[in-house]
Amino acid sequence: MTASLFSPIRLRGLTLANRVIIAPMCQYSAEDGKVTDWHLIHLGGLAMSGSGLLFLEAAAVEPRGRITHGCIGLYSDEAEVALTRVVRACQEHGNTPLAIQLGHAGRKASCHPPRTGGKPLKDGEGAWETIGPSALPFDADWHTPREMDRALMDEVIAAHIQAVERSDRIGFVAVELHAAHGYLISEFLSPLANHRTDEYGGSLENRMRFPLELFAAMRAAWPDDKPMGVRFNGTDWDDAGLTTEDAVAFAQALKAAGCDFFDVSGGGNSMVRPPVGPGYQAELAAAVKQATGVPTMAVGMIRDPKLAQDLLDRGACDMVALARGFLYEPRWTWRAAYELGAEADYPEQAQRSNPLLWPQAFEGDAPSTGVDDDDWEVGAAPHIMVPKKKRGR
């Protein structure tokens, strides 16, 4: 029986070949919001992994929504042209559909990248004004954001709509709104960052109001047959912050608004950090999935294929999303298929790398799906062995 990790899943008009999701990974390598050749190489390799879906890193919907000067954006014609070039190459040569995450960094914008410390930019370093639900800095020595009024909310909604329209023109098969990790939409949801006293602050219903307005506008601008999802916190990991019960209520409201999938993460609205380990956030996904029935992704150091399989088998999630695991091992999907006795899609140029096509490679330690010597024959050249039965695709 095929491993559930390698069974298909349908999201609106899109059917994914398997449940392996490559999560968004900031590369901090853009130039004025435009992707570069680094992104072509990075994404091109991941696009050949045979995964169910590949998310590009969070694209800021306006320049002030970038975390750093090196973050990609989708707010100009030039950025759209540059991104289209990369996406076309991945689509032409890859075997993995591409999606994009759209976001706004809010009060956590205008920073150095993590590799140079991640601290807020100073005036002489090209800093810019940040915005947020309240005029509260993220931490000491951080920028104090400008509190958003209705006009600023409308600007941000319009920027997201424009980015959604650009995403459709480029050819992405799905869009994810970034509402996690203490960035703008997460800030509205969290009592740690949202101290408003109007209809957009205070109660959970009020704190959800702007995020739901924004999602509804994005969904209306996106084709009906294409899925749209949301990444949000299942908890702030802070006793004073957003709770899992809050997250479930938000998920239920998103479901009613036409959300097709959830990507459940946590933290980022304060400096509080939880103990981490393999699958440490999966139970957050499980709570949301069980309460809504909406296809849900689990994240959080899920690098062991057997752990990924176990999470699916016990109903904690419908998909698993990996980020650092793919940075370390861009063909993780191939290894997972081999270890779980399933099949993965290999580009023709890489088929010989499939361990199942290595005759005499295992010396009695072959997997349960291993081959028998009788299955092999000499190829066109004496040193090349080919399978009599097509395997691995």
So which residues are the catalytic ones? Answer: 183
Structure tokens at 75: 């707010």
What phi, psi does 274 have (nearest 5°)? Answer: -85, 165
Tell me the sheet residues that pair with 4.
Answer: none
What phi, psi does 312 have (nearest 5°)? Answer: -70, -45
Distance CA 299, CA 285 (A): 8
Three-state helix/strand/coil letters over the chain: CCCHHHCCEEECCEEECCCEEECCCCCCCCECCECCHHHHHHHHHHCCCCCCEEEEEEEECCHHHCCCCCCCECCCHHHHHHHHHHHHHHHHHCCCCEEEEEECCHHHCCECCHHHCCCECCHHHCCCCCEECCCCCCCCCCCCCEECCHHHHHHHHHHHHHHHHHHHHHCCCCEEEEECCCCHHHHHHCCCCCCCCCCCCCCHHHHHHHHHHHHHHHHHHCCCCCCEEEEEECCCCCCCCCCHHHHHHHHHHHHHCCCCEEEEECCCCCCCCCCCCCCCCHHHHHHHHHHHCCCEEECCCCCCHHHHHHHHHCCCCCEEEECHHHHHCCCHHHHHHHHCCCCCCCCHHHHHHCHHHCCCCCCCCCCCCCCCHHHEEECCCCCCEEECCCCCC
Of 315, 326, 295, 215, which is closest to residue 16 (Cα–Cα)?
A: 295
Place of tokens 């306006």: 62
Of 253, 185, 176, which is closest to residue 222 (Cα–Cα)?
A: 176
